[in-house]
């Protein structure tokens, strides 16, 4: 699978991607909102192996793609969409970007591309995403792609020795198609 946007290529992961993923997942800025304290080669190899195995699903229900910055031909993160079952008409969207590329609109561009794939390619009715309430940048990405706040999940996630509130956002296909026509 290959998707493109103005500045990004979204492609399938390969095992060789582990070095680029390890580089950004080892950054303390990245680790702030993840359960890991540090990342090692074996951790990242196992992480990528999950996405490689998802590529073999028939029918496929999980699509986590490497984000390649066209101008540098460099892997800068990943973005994907995951259905819970083949019968489901909704899916969860998720993304992560190397901290060196934060604040440049890449997460928004990637998430928007995956959102379009979900509604147009997978024919989904609803796409949702969750983020830690304190992760303001992630909240802004979800709002920029047209998702609306649905609910707060108090103390829903335990990491870094504390409970964190999560926020859930969603967008329905009708709303997405309406907004797309207007733009």
pLDDT (tens digit per residue) in 60-103: 999 999 999 999 999 999 999 999 999 999 999 999 999 999 99
The model's pTM: 0.92
Confidence category of residue 182, pLDDT binned at 50, 70, 90? confident
What does DSSP say about strands 74-83 and 90-97: parallel, antiparallel, or unpaired?
A: antiparallel
- Tell me the pLDDT tens digit for each residue of 126-173: 999 999 888 889 999 999 999 999 988 788 777 666 787 889 999 999
Higher-pLDDT residue of 29 and 79 is 79
Distance separating alpha carbons of residues 80 and 117, to the nearest angstrom: 10
Q: What is the pLDDT of residue 53?
A: 97
Q: State yes or no: pLDDT of 58 exceeds 80.
A: yes
Distance separating alpha carbons of residues 134 and 165, to the nearest angstrom: 8
Distance separating alpha carbons of residues 55 and 43, to the nearest angstrom: 19
Distance separating alpha carbons of residues 9 and 7, to the nearest angstrom: 7
Q: What is the pLDDT of residue 153?
A: 79
Q: Please compute the mean of the pLDDT values over residues 106-134 and round it to a whole number.
A: 95
State the DSSP string of 93-115.
EEEEE-GGGTTSSHHHHHHHHHH
Domains of the chain in sequence order:
2-182 (3.40.630.30)
Q: Please compute the mean of the pLDDT values over residues 100-127 and round it to a whole number.
A: 97
Distance separating alpha carbons of residues 105 and 141, to the nearest angstrom: 8
Q: What is the pLDDT of residue 159?
A: 66
């Amino acid at each position: 699978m290959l998707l493109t946007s103005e500045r990004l290529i979204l492609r399938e992961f390969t095992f060789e991607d582990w070095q680029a993923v390890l580089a950004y997942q080892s950054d303390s800025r990245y680790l702030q909102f993840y359960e890991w304290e540090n990342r090692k080669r074996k951790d990242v190899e196992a992480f990528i192996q999950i996405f490689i195995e998802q590529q073999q699903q028939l029918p496929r229900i999980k699509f986590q793609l490497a984000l390649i910055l066209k101008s540098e031909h460099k892997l800068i993160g990943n973005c994907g969409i995951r259905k819970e079952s083949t019968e489901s008409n909704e899916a969860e969207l998720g993304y992560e970007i190397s901290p060196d590329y934060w604040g440049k609109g890449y997460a928004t561009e990637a998430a928007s591309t995956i959102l379009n794939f979900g509604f147009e390619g997978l024919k989904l009715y609803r796409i949702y995403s969750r983020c830690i309430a304190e992760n303001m940048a992630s909240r802004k990405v979800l709002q920029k792609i047209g998702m609306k706040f649905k609910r707060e999940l108090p103390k829903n996630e335990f990491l870094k020795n504390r409970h964190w509130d999560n926020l859930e956002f969603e967008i329905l296909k009708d709303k997405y198609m309406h907004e797309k026509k207007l733009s």
